Chains A and B, each alone.
Chain A
Amino acid sequence: MTDDTVDADSDLGFDPAVSDRDVPTAARAARASKAPSSSRGGGLRSKVSRKVSSVLVLIGALAAVGGGYSLLAPSSSADQTALSAADVETGRQLYESSCITCHGSNLQGVQGRGPSLIGVGSAATYFQVSTGRMPAAGQGATNNRKPAKFNEQQTQQIAAYVGSVGGGPQVPTGDLRGNPQNISDGGELFRLNCASCHNFAGKGAPLSAGKVAPSLNNATDLQLYTAMLSGPENMPVFSDNQITPDQKKAIIDYIQNLKASKDPGGAGLDRIGPVSEGLLIWTAGLGVLMVAILWIGRKS
């Protein structure tokens, strides 16, 4: 155990190229030479304190240990015992003050209030809590994104606690952007797997009976990744067997670039396609011309 940690420590550190994000990056040999564009800022993660960093490093170390294995087969029950006992304990306390009412004292769930969390994994917990969906405001067809109740550190701690009970997909660490060369692959994968619900520009769309595929506008890299890993609400799970971690990163790279990209043709009209264009031609187009017609008519 100790050996693993030491090995990881010597292998992990801060990548100077991405230090503006203030996030420790698993400097894998392949990635260390690459300098990602500094424009890719992660809003939430920029506030992560150094203290959390050490937790992440620790989790990263674990990921590195099982890395080769997990690339080949999804590890749904990785050894969680190596997490800092103090963090798991803090997570348990947060859980017991905010989550226990609906999910039960042993995460077994409460009939009519909330499902069992045994085996959902830290990734699902991280997604739900960091997007503010949990704690839920109420039970409805869908849980909309709202301001998060917990900060990044607390979210990670709750996730660690939930993950420590029954295992499940874990919160990934390190750089979640793929090789920029792969952005077009990410686009193909996005159109194939994501656009059918989230729209071609990640604007989201309604599903049946009040359920919603949300907009990806505010999603961070980590939220996108954990969503794919855990399949929240109506979203399918995209396990590492279906979409490999590298492919997930390429998708994230495509989405975040798409969101940051400007519209070369002028106002983007919310990027929802012909409906907003139709609205504009009847108002700004024909509307302006009707005013012109009335003006000419008055002058006759």
Chain B
Amino acid sequence: MTTLNEAPTVKGARRFDKPRTPQGKAGKFFEERLGLAGGLRKQLNKVFPDHWSFMMGEIALYSFIILILTGTFLTFFFDASMAEVRYDGSYVPLQGVEMSRAYASTLHISFDVRGGLILRQIHHWAALLFMAAMTIHMFRVFFTGAFRKPRELNWLIGLGLITLGLVEGFAGYSLPDDLLSGTGLRIAEAIMQSIPVIGTWVAFLAFGGKFPGTEIIGRLYIVHVLLVPGILAGLIGAHMALLIKQKHTEFPGPGKSEHTVSGERMYPTYAAKAGGFFFIVFAVCAALGGLAQINPIWLYGPYNTAQVSAGSQPDFYIGFLDGSTRLFPSWEIRLWHHTIPALFWPTIVLPGILFTLAGAYPFLEAKLTKDRAKHHLLQRPRDVPVRTGLGAMAITFYGVLLLSGGNDLIAKAFDISLNAMTWAGRIGMLLAPPLAYVIAYKACIGLQRHDREVLEHGIETGIIKRLPNGEFIEIHQPLGAVDDHGHGLLEYAGTPVPKKMNKLGNPQTARVKGFFRPVREKAEIEAELAALEQAEAERAASQRELTD
């Protein structure tokens, strides 16, 4: 009788070749057929950084999973047809109204399918979350310089994900064929038509003839459930594969270097953390879906080309284009017998410029700074004030456009003239970004200076001392060794500098915070410290005895 604990005794054969446990046998079965163990072991050991800012992209990933789950449910009941039907479902104010099957089936999902409304709402909230999370993830990558060589391609893939997210979201928003989404499609058609020379034909191609036609919902449906999600999934895969290949970036600090990674391994710590976080994201989406009404298509009514509602807005991620359209002057340019409508500039040229600049940024920065090196350590935003200023500028520009997309509602809520809002947007669009640049730049320099000051003079202890000559001085705690003048010798390294005595492991005992109650009480810690000190003293005494 042999046990697993016994050393292998069979000559030449390793113990693992003859697994005895069911798991071991299953593992052998797959290993002999797939040969994945080596690679898998490597992946399971991948190290993920601990910093909170690395989890923003995860929100986007998890909302994508939620979108696929809820979206699949919705496809069971949605009918992407523009055939006219007379509604006879349970929503009374629309009974007897002529509408497309797409709209009728969305009403059916909302009112007559069990759990249909909440899943529709979770789907829509998750879509908004997907876009919002990608946006802030992009901010993180930008402001910390994570896009630098060798990660420029992943930056471009990310940009592609956001662009496709816009398309995917707009297609989904259009599917119910309600008055709001139909208005959005009408504007999309106008944007296509505004392209010089080919515009009319582009619109005919997309809509299969004149607007609205009978094709567009069916086409958008395939775009929404197959084409774009497929590409999105592929790009997300590539995004993650590159991330694993190139490894995570990390913030500089003690023990960090360009050639090391630190944090938690994929298995088990990170898997548990990420798994838990997935459920938090799902919980937030489910709570929103159950508590907050989104896209109440029954209030909008079916689409009818003769109708439009005041305050017809797109979802927030398209809002910046609505805003740019509202702000752009109505310049109609005629060149060589062709008209360039005013709509062309704010809806095609402007986003074209924005996305091109975003895509080119990593390369532009490398060119302008002549920095061709590979970077695995991040930079704190304050340490690259120009980039931070440019980012603040871009966000402010986007923010002004986004706010202007809802300027009618702001005008109404605050009793401001709509025309005044338009002009505020036009002026703000030009003046606010440079102002944001200056403020961000100055803030970065200020923060840097404070860090340097603490490195040089130490932390303010808050202890004021009166010298014999009557002078008052504040005692500073140096962070390290000091020179003859009491100035710290630590170099500025772009890492966080402690600013409070508490961050120094100051002998003052503090309780260890927990979620509901302290994990360890003050007395307990003090007792532990006392024991440590005593042990230290005893050790020193015995050392002395030994040396004596």
Contact = CB atoms under 8 A, between A and B. Distances in A.
B85 interface: no
Nearest to B55: A293
A292 B180 CA distance: 34
Interface stretch (A26-34, A85-93, A190-198): A190-198
B144 to A, nearest CB: 14
Interface stretch (B17-25, B196-204, B305-313, B453-461): B305-313
B125 interface: yes
Interface residues of A, number: 57
A115 interface: no
Interface residues of B, number: 71
Interface in A255-300: 257-258, 261, 263-269, 271-275, 277-278, 280-282, 284-286, 288-289, 292-294, 296-298, 300
B281 A289 contact: yes
7 contacts: A188-B301, A192-B304, A200-B301, A210-B419, A280-B288, A297-B52, A300-B264
Nearest to A215: B412
Shortest 8 CB-CB contacts between residues of A and residues of B: A297-B52, A278-B316, A265-B293, A205-B310, A300-B50, A210-B417, A200-B309, A281-B128
Contact of A271 (B95, B124, B296, B420): B296
A266 B95 contact: no
B319 A208 contact: no
B311 A296 contact: no
A208 B97 contact: no
Given A199-B310, A205-B311, A278 B128 contact: yes
B179 A191 contact: yes
Q: Is the interface of B mostly helix, strand, loop or mixed?
A: helix
Given A205-B310, A265-B293, A281-B132, A296 B418 contact: no
B132 A286 contact: yes
A269 B273 contact: no
A interface, by DSSP: helix, strand, loop or mixed? helix
B35 interface: no
Interface in B111-154: 111, 117-118, 121, 124-125, 128-129, 132-133, 136
A54 interface: no
A297 B416 CA distance: 43
B409 A187 contact: no
A139 to B, nearest CB: 15
B507 interface: no
Given A191-B307, A275-B311, 8 more contacts: A199-B310, A200-B301, A205-B310, A209-B419, A266-B292, A289-B133, A296-B55, A300-B50
Contact of B301 (A187, A209, A285): A187
B291 interface: yes
The winner among A204, A210, A263, A298 for most chain B CB atoms within 10 A is A210
Nearest to A286: B132
A207 interface: yes
Contacts, number: 195
A33 B306 CA distance: 36
Contacts of B417: 141, 206, 208-210
A254 B95 CA distance: 12
B50, B56, B125, B128: residue with the most chain A Cβ atoms closer than 10 Å: B128
A212 interface: yes
Contacts of B405: 275
A263 B293 contact: yes
A213 interface: yes
B94 A265 contact: no
Contacts of B56: 293
A264 B128 contact: no
Contact of A288 (B284, B306, B309, B311): B284
B108 to A, nearest CB: 14
B120 to A, nearest CB: 8
B288 A284 contact: yes
Contacts of A300: 50, 263-264, 273
